[in-house]
């Protein structure tokens, strides 16, 4: 069974848990969902899966090549200890992948998609990048060099990814001593927050001990509620632009910079760094958490119905594509993927069709 097929089988569970979380939120008088945001987040997850179909040959191919020709030894894929150690080692590599994804601008360009939602719920977990394949695979090559078989790495990667789904909720509080060892909802809420005290913290996938060991841990403080999103907000429901915005802004600053060294630094400094001459001539307002606004253009009833109907068609097309992708020719894959992207764009358009006519609501929690 292929990775995309496993995601297809897991999708009903994803939606069941979203439904339960929504019902719990309504019952508690604390609904954490908005239709436009949830559709956009799930749609970006769909786009990520499409990209994965086309990038798998590169990422898996490079790993397999290194494993076969450059590994120090080759570990047995049928040994339980290889799987256990492999999961721990993968989570360690993921920690550094994730941490540098927040502290290196070029890598942030891929990861920022996951953080663009100004809500925090289980649909946010599905909000994934379509460009992570550009450099993300580099962080796991040490596993190939140490002889972990591709099958083991693919399986533990899926376990690590699926585990992280349930921690994206506001309806589960702190869990005592478990919070000291594992990435749990409280720890991960901190990770998604833009508050000064929470920024660039808690990068662990399954284990939070990596953060404690390497000085990147912060505990959630009930006296300072998390504010979600990014400091450079997307302010759009266009899924293609969500993947391109950060790269486009960096490219624009690089073009404007007068110093060639600065043009290179833009891509590898901390996200938000700008050359002095660019910042002086094209200033951006300083981030002020008190003035954060949530992008929420109202959707007419007709637009909501049309968006949901398009979303149902999108899910059907995506399910069929992911289940049968390995049987399709490259041209067929591109054709169906193009249809899915068009449907995603349509949902985004329906979600913000009146954005020019209204003011966004002030964010408050």
Reduced 3-state DSSP string for 191-214: HHECCCCCCCCCCCCCECHHHHHC
Cβ atoms of 182 and 208 closer than 8 Å = yes
Q: Does residue 151 carry a pLDDT above 80?
A: yes
Query: Where are the chain's structural domains?
Result: 3-213
Residues in the chain: 365
Nearest by Cα to 1 from 151, 148, 144, 133: 151
Query: Residue range 337-360: average pLDDT?
Result: 79
pTM exceeds 0.75 for this model? yes
Query: Measured at the alpha carbon of residue 144, what is the angle toward residues 138 and 149, in degrees to the nearest 5?
Result: 130
User: Can you give the pLDDT at residue 354?
Assistant: 61
318-334 burial: b if 16+ Cβ within 10 Å, else e = bbebbeebeeeeeeebe
pLDDT in tens, 201-239: 999 999 999 999 999 999 999 999 999 999 999 999 999
pLDDT tens for 120-140 read 999 999 999 999 888 999 999
**Cα distance between residue 360 and residue 352, in whole Å:** 11
- Please give the angle made by the CA atoms of 152, 209 and 94, to the nearest 5 degrees: 40
């Amino acid at each position: 069974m292929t990775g995309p097929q496993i995601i297809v089988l897991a999708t009903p569970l994803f939606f069941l848990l979203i439904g339960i979380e929504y019902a719990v939120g309504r019952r508690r008088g604390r609904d954490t969902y908005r239709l436009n945001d949830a559709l956009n987040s799930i749609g970006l997850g769909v786009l990520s899966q499409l990209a994965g179909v086309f990038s798998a040959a590169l990422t898996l191919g490079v790993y397999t090549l290194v494993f076969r020709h450059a590994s120090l030894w080759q570990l047995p894929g049928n040994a339980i200890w290889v799987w256990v150690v492999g999961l721990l080692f993968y989570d360690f590599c993921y920690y550094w992948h994730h941490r540098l994804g927040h502290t290196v601008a070029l890598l942030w360009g891929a990861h920022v998609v996951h953080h663009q939602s100004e809500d925090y719920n289980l649909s946010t977990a599905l909000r994934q990048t379509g460009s992570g394949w550009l450099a993300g695979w580099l962080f796991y090559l040490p596993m190939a060099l140490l002889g972990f078989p591709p099958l083991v790495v693919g399986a533990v990667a899926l376990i690590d990814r699926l585990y992280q789904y349930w921690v994206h909720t506001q309806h589960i509080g702190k869990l005592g001593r478990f919070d000291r060892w594992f990435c749990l909802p409280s720890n991960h809420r901190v990770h998604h927050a833009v508050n000064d005290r929470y920024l660039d913290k808690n990068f662990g996938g399954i284990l939070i001990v990596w953060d404690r060991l390497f000085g990147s841990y912060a505990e959630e403080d009930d006296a300072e509620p998390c504010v979600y999103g990014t400091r450079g907000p997307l302010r759009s429901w266009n899924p293609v632009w969500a993947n391109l915005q950060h790269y486009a802004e960096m490219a624009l600053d690089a073009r404007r910079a007068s110093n060639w060294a600065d043009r290179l630094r833009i891509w590898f400094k901390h996200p938000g760094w700008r050359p002095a001459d660019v910042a002086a001539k094209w200033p951006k307002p300083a981030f002020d958490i008190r003035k954060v606004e949530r992008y929420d253009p109202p959707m007419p009833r007709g637009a909501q119905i049309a968006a949901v109907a398009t979303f149902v068609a999108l899910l059907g097309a995506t399910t069929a594509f992911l289940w049968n992708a390995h049987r399709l020719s490259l041209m067929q894959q591109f054709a169906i993927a193009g249809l899915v992207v068009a449907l995603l764009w349509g949902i985004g358009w329906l979600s913000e069709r009146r954005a020019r006519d209204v003011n966004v609501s002030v964010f408050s929690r």
